[in-house]
Each structure stands twice: as C-alpha cells, then as structure tokens.
Amino acid sequence: MTDKEPVARFNGHRFSHADLKHRIQEVEVPALRAWFDNLAEDEVPVLHIRGLSYEELARADLAATRGQQAIGQVIAILSEGKGEELEDTLRNIMGVGKDAPEQLIKRIQYLAMGCEEMNEESAMKFSVHFSVEFGEITNKILALTGKGSEPGK
C-alpha cells in the first residue's frame, strides 16, 4: 500500500445541480446623475451590471455580423430613389455610420444585455455621448464574464 495523496476530481454531478448566479456589480456613473429619478443629493448614481453567458456573447457576435447588413438594407429601402442625403439623415437618426465597427455593435449588445437599466437604444446613445464611461463599463461586464458565475446566495 502506498501513501499517495488523493487525486482531486471534478464532481460533474454536484456541478450540474449547483445553483450558480452571474456575478453582479454596481458601477458608479456620476456623469449620468441628471437621468436618475429620485436620487438624493448625497447619493451616488450607479448602474447594475452582470457577467454574460456564452449564449449572450454569441448573440452579440451575431448582431455585429448582421448589424451592418440589416442597417444597410433598411436604409436602402427607406431611401430608395431619394438620394444620399436621406440615407445620411436616416443613419444619423439611427445613430450608426456607414462603417460602424463590429466591436462597437458587440459592446452595445454587451451593455444592453449586461446592465439592467439599459436597452439597445440607450446603450447606443451612451456609446456616442459618454464614450469613456461606455468603454469602462463594457470592460467591467467582460471582466465579470471572465470570472464566471458564482454559487448562489
């Protein structure tokens, strides 16, 4: 008989039945104070973010891939025969340029899915008008995602 250390083994059954929750975090956003209702003067405005699932990451990738195609098709239909000026106006209304980078479309999706206070429209506007905060918050969502879920509490 040898004195070997027990070999650590993953318990798939226990993992399958574990109550896991996405990691969550509050992020201070003083720049957005004007858009918070009923915020006391001494309160700091916060957004609530969480890590994303792989399915959500894949949906963001798909949105980025299809985004430019869909936007181009909608604008082409709406501006058909009405000139480039109308196309530019529609792009401005929609908040997207002709060459919106895929990374931007992905991050808009990350924020819309990973922040309970945001939707696609507000995430897009946030990216335009508060671009530094937009980058910081989407980085935090990705960091939470990278840490994986944690046991429920």
pLDDT per position as a tens digit, 44-81: 999 999 999 999 999 998 888 776 666 666 666 766 76
32 token code pair: 């957005």
Q: How far is CA 86 from the centre of its chain?
A: 30
Q: Could you tell me the pTM of the whole model?
A: 0.75
**Using CA atoms, how far apart are residues 15 and 32, in angstroms rounded to an integer?**
40
Residue 106: Cβ-neighbour burial (10 angstroms; 0-12, 13-18, 19+) = buried
**Chain segment 68-118, per-residue pLDDT in tens:** 666 666 666 766 766 676 666 666 655 555 556 788 889 999 999 999 999
User: 24 and 49 in contact (C-beta within 8 Å)?
Assistant: yes
